[in-house]
């Protein structure tokens, strides 16, 4: 099944972004590339916000957020209540992010996770369905925090 997938990265992850985007296109997915496209220093929150907006606006079903560690861009993306970004570094966390947490974005650290492992994480993420049931109640609470 093909999807529209948004992908965004800062300068530390632009090479990984390009590799993953090309790989996704070759697999038949439509890729919404939100930048950045070079080594010039940029601010990861700007790209996390762009990615989250694309998800919230329905431009893409899933997103891939990339920065040096994956942490900062994930935090930025999660500022948008429509975005459920999970930092992953191996396939089991990618699978659980989808099946238990209905994540619609995965974040990967380009300085911590190599391209082949990143692709395995993306592949598992896209192949996994949300289980619903008892997990739905918990996911619903993510969009409506009781502070």
Q: So which residues are the catalytic ones?
A: 67, 100
For residues 85 and 60, give the distance between their C-alpha atoms in angstroms, rounded to a whole number: 14
Q: What percent of the chain has pLDDT over 70?
A: 97
pTM: 0.93
pLDDT at 114: 97
pLDDT reading at 130 higher than 90? no
**51's tokens:** 């990615």
Q: Are 77 and 107 in contact (CB under 8 A)?
A: yes
**pLDDT digits 0-9 by tens, 102-119:** 999 999 999 999 999 999
Q: Are 39 and 14 in contact (CB under 8 A)?
A: yes
Domains and CATH numbers, the chain: 4-142 (3.40.1400.10)
């Amino acid at each position: 099944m093909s999807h529209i997938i948004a992908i965004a990265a800062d300068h530390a992850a632009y090479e990984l972004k390009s590799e993953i985007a090309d790989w996704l296109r070759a697999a038949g997915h439509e890729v919404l590339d939100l930048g950045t496209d070079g080594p010039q220093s940029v601010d990861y929150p700007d790209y996390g916000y762009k990615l989250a907006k694309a998800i919230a606006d329905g431009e893409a079903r899933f997103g891939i957020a990339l920065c040096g560690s994956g942490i900062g861009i994930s935090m930025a993306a999660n500022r948008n209540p429509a975005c459920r970004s999970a930092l992953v570094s191996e396939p089991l966390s990618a699978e659980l992010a989808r099946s238990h947490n209905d994540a619609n974005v995965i974040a990967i650290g380009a300085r911590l996770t190599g391209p082949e492992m990143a692709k395995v994480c993306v592949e598992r993420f896209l192949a996994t369905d949300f289980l619903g049931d008892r997990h739905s109640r918990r996911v619903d609470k993510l969009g409506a925090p009781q502070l």
